[in-house]
Structure 1
C-alpha cells in the first residue's frame, strides 16, 4: 500500500482544465479570476466582502494592519496554533499575550481570556485572535460579548474551518468567517486545506471600511480609484496612499481555487464521514478521540495518548505519516526570548504532549482509512 500522509490535496481534471484556461487567457495576475473567486467565496461563507491574498499569513498580517496594530498594541491569542496567528502581531510591532486552552474544545478558553483581561488595567488589550482549531468553530458569540465589554476587536483565524459553523443563542447557524461576530476572518488555501490553490489566502468581513483598507494594503498601498485619489492626471494615474505590500493572489491560483470551491461541500461531507468512522473505532479505547461535533469542519482529526511518541513511530513504520499539531507557540525559541516559558500554559502543554493528527483528507479511501484504524488498534493491543 502507498504511504498515507496526514493531509493531501485532490486535483481533478476539472481543476487542471480551469488552470490551463487561465494560462491561455489574457491575464495571469490582477485579472478577472480574482474578483470571481472573491465573490464566490464570500457567497459560500456568507460574508459581504472577501479579499484574496497570497497566503494565510499575508491575510493575518493585512488584518492586523487594517485594525491598526502597532507598537502600542497588545493582542491575545492561543498557544495551540500555527505560529503565524501570533507572528502577525509582531510584524506590526505589537505585543502578543497567550491564554490557555479549554481542554474539551482545544480552542482558546473564554475563562482564561477573561482572567487575563481582568488582571490588567482597563484598555490594556487591543484585540483577540481566535483560532478554529482543527476545524472546530470557536463560539464567537460569547467572545463578541466579552470583546465588546472590554473594547476589543476580533480576528477569526478560520484556516481550518471553511464550511464549519456554530449555532448561536438564537438557534441561528453561524458560518465560520461570515463576519457576524468577528471583525475580520482569514482562510488559507495551502494544499492540505479544504480548498487548495497551491498557495493562497482569503480575508472576509462585513465592514466596507475594512474591506477598502485591505484592498489598498494588498497592493503597495496604491489606488487607481478616482473617488479615493487626491488628484487625477489621467487614466494612467495612481496614488500610493499608504505603505502597503504585494500580497496579491494570481489568476492562476484563483482559477484553481474556484474549481476546488465547487467541490467544497462534498469534501466537507467526506471529512465528517471519516471523523465519524474514526470516533466509532476508537471511542472504547484508551485514546482520547475527537467527537464529531455539529459544525466541525475537520481539517484535522486529533487523538490524544500518553504513548504519542511510540504510536507516532509505529505508524511511520507502517507508512502512515501522522503529524503533531501544534508545538505551543510560547515554547518557540523566539517567543521564549520575549519572556514566555515552558509551564506557562499547562493545559496547552499537556495537550501537546499527547496529541497526534491522523490522516484526514477527502480522497482518503475506505481501504486506507481502515488500514490506519487497524494499525492504531494493533498498536494499542500490543
Structure 2
C-alpha cells in the first residue's frame, strides 16, 4: 500500500519520547516549551503556544481576537472544515471567499470584491482565515493590505505549511497576520502524533491564547484579581479549555523539527520528479507562485476530463484498487450538509467546486521511493485509459 502521506519516525524520535516516559513529567514538563522554542526559532516569531490540535489552536486564536456572536469569520471553501468551524465555536457567523484557480488558495481579488459589498451592507468580517493549501503560501501581502483598509484581523491557517516560505521569509513569522496556526498531525510535514500551535508576535495575544489553552487558569500575579495567598495559589480568570499538549507529543515534535528543512527539501525533489513524469499526461500539475516556497504537504493533480474517456471517480477508485491510497483535498466546506442548512448551495463558489470535480491528491512523503512514484504514474496512466 502507498498512502498519500505518512509520518517518518526515527530512533532519535523514539528515544526522545522514551525519555519523557521515564521522567517525572508526562504533561506540563520541559518538552512542550522545547518544541515551542524550536518553532519560534524556525519562524523568527516571538511567541508559540502548543495545543492538542490545530483545531484547538484555531478556536482559541479566534477567541483571543475577540470573535463572538454577531461577528463574521471568512475563510476558503477549499479547506478542512476546522478552518470554518472555529468561527462557529465562538458563536460567530461564517462565510467563504472563492479560490484562485492556479494556487487553490483564497483569491485576494475575490476577497476585495466581497469586502466592497460587505462594507455597503454593514457585514464586514472581524476575522479572515487564509489557508495555505497544500503548503503553498497565500498572497498574504495583498490580504494584509485589505485588512488595513477594511479593519479585519488575520489568522493564517498554515496547517499544511510549516517549512514553507513567503517572500523568502518563513511562514509563521506573522509579518502579515495576527496569528499563524500549524498542525502536527501524522500526515503533516513534521508530527507530534496529534498537535497544533499558535504563533504570534503580539504579547497580549500570546498571553490570551496560553490562558485559554489551560482552563483560563493562571498563576501569573499580574493577571490575578487579588494577591497570591501562597505558592499553591491559582485563579480562573477566563473561561478556557483543556487544549494542552502532552510532553510526549512535545518531545516527538521537538525531535522532528530537527529534520524539517530536510523533509521539505525531499518533498520538493519528489514534486519536481512528478512534474517531469506527468508533463505529457492530461493532468494539471501544481502551479507554484514565484513569491512562495511551498512546504508541499500535498501534491494535487487536476484531471483534464475533456481529454480522457473516463470519469473523475473512476480514476480515483482505479488507483485505490491498486492500493495507491489517493485522497481528495477538499470537498468544499460550503457543500457539507451542516453548512447547506445555513443557506449555502452549489454554485456559490464555482472555482472551488470546479477544482473539487477534477482534483486528486497523489502520494507525497519523504520516504516515497522513485519506484513507488513510477508505479503511481504508470497506474494513473492505466486508470485514465492511456
TM-score, normalised to structure 2, is: 0.95
Distance 1:82 1:340 in 2: 16
Distance 1:150 1:60 in 2: 22
Distance 1:366 1:332 in 2: 37
Distance 1:147 1:120 in 2: 13
Contact 1:279-1:291 at 8 Å conserved across structures: no
TM-superposition CA deviations, 1:183-220 (whole Å, max 9, x none): 00101110000111111001100000100111111100
Q: What residue is the counterpart of 1:84 in the other structure?
A: 82
Q: What residue is the counterpart of 1:170 in the other structure?
A: none
Distance 2:271 2:312 in 1: 19
Distance 2:170 2:141 in 1: 12
Contact 1:300-1:357 at 8 Å conserved across structures: yes
Q: What residue is the counterpart of 2:196 in the other structure?
A: 201
Task: Point out 4+ residue stretches in structure 1 off by more than 6 angstroms.
Answer: none
Tell me the C-alpha RMSD between the 2 structures: 1.2
The 10-residue stretch of structure 1 (120-129 or 177-186) with the greater mean CA deviation from structure 2: 120-129
Aligned-residue offset at 1:311: 1.3
Distance 1:374 1:20 in 2: 42
Q: What residue is the counterpart of 1:183 in the other structure?
A: 178
Aligned-residue offset at 1:118: 0.8
Q: What residue is the counterpart of 1:265 in the other structure?
A: 261
Distance 2:321 2:239 in 1: 50
2:283 to 287, 293, 296: 287
2:104 to 103, 106, 115: 106
Q: What residue is the counterpart of 1:25 in the other structure?
A: 23
Aligned-residue offset at 1:340: 0.6
Aligned-residue offset at 1:15: 0.7
Q: What residue is the counterpart of 2:308 in the other structure?
A: none
Task: Give the secondary structure class of the aligned counterpart of 2:222.
Answer: coil
1:365 aligns with 2:360: no
Distance 2:239 2:78 in 1: 31
Distance 2:195 2:147 in 1: 29
Task: Give the secondary structure class of the aligned counterpart of 1:195.
Answer: coil
Q: What residue is the counterpart of 1:348 in the other structure?
A: 352
Aligned-residue offset at 1:227: 2.5
Tell me, which stretches of 5 or more residues in structure 1 are unaligned?
168-172
The 10-residue stretch of structure 1 (155-164 or 308-317) with the greater mean CA deviation from structure 2: 308-317
2:45 to 32, 44, 47: 47
1:324 aligns with 2:322: no
Aligned-residue offset at 1:229: 1.6
Distance 1:381 1:338 in 2: 41
Aligned-residue offset at 1:123: 6.4
Distance 1:283 1:182 in 2: 36
1:378 aligns with 2:378: no
Distance 1:224 1:137 in 2: 38
Distance 1:37 1:29 in 2: 13
1:250 aligns with 2:246: yes
Tell me, which stretches of 5 or more residues in structure 2 are unaligned?
306-310
Q: What residue is the counterpart of 2:312 in the other structure?
A: 308
Q: What residue is the counterpart of 1:4 in the other structure?
A: 2
TM-superposition CA deviations, 1:263-299 (whole Å, max 9, x none): 1111111111111011111122210111355501110
TM-score, normalised to structure 1, is: 0.96
Contact 1:164-1:295 at 8 Å conserved across structures: yes
1:145 aligns with 2:145: yes
TM-superposition CA deviations, 1:236-286 (whole Å, max 9, x none): 000100000010000000000011111111111111111101111112221
Distance 2:183 2:256 in 1: 13
Q: What residue is the counterpart of 1:223 in the other structure?
A: 218
Distance 2:118 2:228 in 1: 49
